[in-house]
Structure 1
């Protein structure tokens, strides 16, 4: 997923007009909303859906795209990699450069970037121009992912902030479980160009939705007029453990998810790939609901449970995958463990970051996308050298240090009790 600047007034940040320093600036008038603004949150969820689907859509359209662009399917597959690279390279500097922008203006700019990039991708007849457009889409994703979770958090009252983030992040599993198969079907029925133009049309509609329903907030600047250095977030206790867990967890997930069709084909279940992904997506949505309901009280326990569930799923796939029934059990556990992970990790880094949360979120976006790009590369190497049966074992190897770090970060990063401060609550 890619996601998220925590949009709260913090020590050393200029407060909004009419809001006292140290008090959450969730509403410009100084009053806090007492319930979730669902239309605005669903607009953010749609933005998350668009960012996720734009990244992964080429995976289902590779044969047609490669034929029209005159390159191999392997080369066409790099349109996914260049997107992740664009996000990873630009999330931190662009987050710093735009920290003073009004939040709504920044969100609209990012989504307009998606509309432009997807339009160029659809109309491009050359591989080089397509790659440029995909890189631009990745840059837009870097802006959006460093903003969305914090935006959702800021719109909600304290006791509903976790649920607000969960609603916004629901766009990820929906994109993976419904959007990618639907886009693939549309591309096959009509053309891959139509699939990308439909993404443009959806984004244009979303721009109007955001304009009508999403509240605006000021950017964040230090009182002396200078933006806080991004890298200083690494010195904040708890940030580094969360970033490590993010990188390793996403890397583990991506290695298996990217090549799930290849893995299933090895088991003789290649024709069931769509159904397997549907089960995964449904379980992921259930996970998001559970996390949203419990995250304010049980962030640490949920993170441990998430890691363990994915590890158990990998173990089943490693030793019991000869049984189709056990494959579905494993995929269900995998979805239950993974679906809420973006919400958990973004909330954890926002809590840990304090007044450096915006920088910490930008780092999370960077590492998330670096892990996605690395997962595809590592999976390809594993496939060539060890075969698809190595994927679940690699997931287990990567999740061992994840569980150790989460367990050890008891005081900072993944505390037993979430801190309640004026900056985060």
Structure 2
């Protein structure tokens, strides 16, 4: 696997720390900013809103840029947004910096995925995307608990400054490993890219991603508050429990990366089924520390096991279509459709990240309690299972129609 793929994963770690660490900073930020915990939780949704907009917009606007230049620009803007966020005391300004930071983070995701896909053969896409997305898992293991500890001892602003510094360091890694230019003539036409991604199965996949992600995030977004207020775990132990979530996520994404290319559908069934079971169990045992802690670990494992499959599956769906429409014989890796496919993945994931905290906040504000978030997660996980089954049924139907339409050759 090229070193550049690992560097891209490290850059995702730097930015993903910011995406995740608010789960452990919500109580302190709410007190400092003078808003409620659910309102502070909307900062997580603000981040997702920025990513919803940034992925497709920046994938198109930077399509003529060398990938290294685009990745550098995104990291610089991300660091600047966090510096402003660390300096403000206005909730609205902080909300805006979350949107801006996420906007460029989304662009980084799309270009980073396209770069990784270009660097590896088709049968290694799942593994490569597992490494890139694994940066987010490392953020869950290291960045999330570390950000929580920094926030508890030095204040949430110090955590923001730390993210800004890590983003600057990531720029150096990108400069050292990502090629400076792009191949001659590799400027895909927007029309060809849009035609290449006009695949119904791809859009069903995007819907599946949104459902599964919201099913995980509805619980994860309020996990720190759940552990403190419902499970009654001491505040000092919350970072350690969140680290267990990250450890489960690392195991899950590592295993999922190994099965994504050869056994993608079984991986989705196992992961989504596990999400349903773990969410139900957590809702039933949230008041008991021992089972709740174990289930937090399992939540990370099943939640991230499907990530490499979800991130890589769409590229295979449009590869042939991209090759047929680019007019020059270039495939997905060279034709440029990869960035748009990756942008769709980012949008779908962040629809889920937006919807999850919002649904959880509605339930909490309605007086259903923090454990209600896990019940919502179970329902969404079941819907994701249904979407996978629907996709498989459509594939079997299409295959059967194709066989019947094939002309018979008499011996």
CA gap of 1:360–1:274, structure 2 versus 1, over 3 A, is same
CA gap of 1:322–1:200, structure 2 versus 1, over 3 A, is closer
Q: Does the 8 A contact of 1:99 with 1:220 survive in 2?
A: no
Do structure 1's residue 238 and structure 2's residue 201 form an aligned pair? yes
State the partner residue of 1:256.
219
State the partner residue of 1:137.
101
Q: CA deviation at 1:320?
A: 4.6
Task: Spell out, residue by residue over 1:201-256, the C-alpha distance to the aligned partner (whole angstroms, 9 max, x if none).
Answer: 21111111110112345389898x73137765663131122111111001111111
- Higher normalized helix content (fraction of residues): 2
Q: Which runs of 5+ in 1 are unaligned?
A: 1-35, 416-425
Task: Spell out, residue by residue over 1:297-321, the C-alpha distance to the aligned partner (whole angstroms, 9 max, x if none).
Answer: 1111111111111112112223455
State the partner residue of 2:330.
none
Q: CA deviation at 1:378?
A: 0.6
Do structure 1's residue 284 and structure 2's residue 249 form an aligned pair? yes
Q: Does the 8 A contact of 1:104 with 1:215 survive in 2?
A: yes
TM-score normalised over the length of structure 2 = 0.82
Cα distance between partner residues in 1 of 2:365 and 2:233: 19
Q: How does 1:3-402 map to 2 (within 5 A)?
A: 36-38=1-3, 40-62=4-26, 65=29, 75-216=39-180, 218=182, 226-228=189-191, 232=195, 235-265=198-228, 267-271=230-234, 272-321=237-286, 323-354=288-319, 355=322, 356-385=337-366, 386-402=368-384
Task: Spell out, residue by residue over 1:268-309, the C-alpha distance to the aligned partner (whole angstroms, 9 max, x if none).
Answer: 343253333222211111112112222221111111111111
Q: How does 1:407-418 map to 2 (within 5 A)?
A: 407-410=389-392
Number of residue equivalences: 379
Q: CA deviation at 1:125?
A: 4.4
Q: Secondary structure at the match of 2:312?
A: helix
- C-alpha RMSD of the superposition: 2.9
Q: Secondary structure at the match of 2:370?
A: coil
Q: Does the 8 A contact of 1:351 with 1:357 survive in 2?
A: no
Q: Does the 8 A contact of 1:187 with 1:195 survive in 2?
A: yes
Q: Does the 8 A contact of 2:257 with 2:309 survive in 1?
A: no
Task: Spell out, residue by residue over 1:12-37, the C-alpha distance to the aligned partner (whole angstroms, 9 max, x if none).
Answer: xxxxxxxxxxxxxxxxxxxxxxxx12
Cα distance between partner residues in 1 of 2:370 and 2:29: 25
Cα distance between partner residues in 1 of 2:179 and 2:80: 24
Q: CA deviation at 1:117?
A: 0.8
TM-score normalised over the length of structure 1 = 0.80
Cα distance between partner residues in 2 of 1:90 and 1:260: 27
Q: Does the 8 A contact of 2:15 with 2:167 survive in 1?
A: no
Q: Secondary structure at the match of 1:93?
A: helix
Q: Which runs of 5+ in 2 are unaligned?
A: 323-336, 398-411
